[in-house]
């Protein structure tokens, strides 16, 4: 399997370190913390795990839903 066969996992995720024009500072800080959390989990697991959990690509909302599901039991 070549790199061409991989679908982009993070295309739906705003990983830009700069703050958007319509983003408040508080929203920016929360977004950066969530992106860093996602990247940390990605490095701890593997691409295959993320592809199975996020078949349409990684989103902050998707990761929030998984965290809520694990906290609720």
Alpha-carbon gap, residue 18 to 68, rounded angstroms: 28
Domain-wise residue ranges, the chain: 22-72
The full DSSP string for the chain is --GGGPPPSSTTS---SSPPTT--HHHHHHHHHHHHHHHHHHHHS-HHHHHHH-TT---HHHHHHHHHHHHH-
pLDDT on residue 70: 83
The 10 Å Cβ neighbour count of residue 63 is: 19
pLDDT for res 32: 93
The per-residue pLDDT for range 34-63, each reduced to its tens digit, is 999 999 999 999 889 988 888 888 988 988
Q: Which of 54, 57, 63 lies closest to 8, judged by CA?
A: 57
pLDDT value of position 3: 58
Give this prediction's pTM.
0.80
What is the average pLDDT score of the chain? 87
């Amino acid at each position: 399997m070549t790199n061409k066969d991989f679908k982009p996992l993070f295309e739906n995720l705003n990983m830009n370190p700069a703050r958007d024009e319509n983003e408040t500072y508080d929203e920016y800080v929360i977004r950066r913390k969530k992106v860093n959390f996602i990247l940390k989990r990605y490095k701890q697991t593997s691409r295959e795990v993320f592809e199975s959990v996020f078949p349409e690509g990684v989103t902050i909302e998707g990761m929030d839903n998984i965290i809520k599901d694990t906290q609720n039991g």
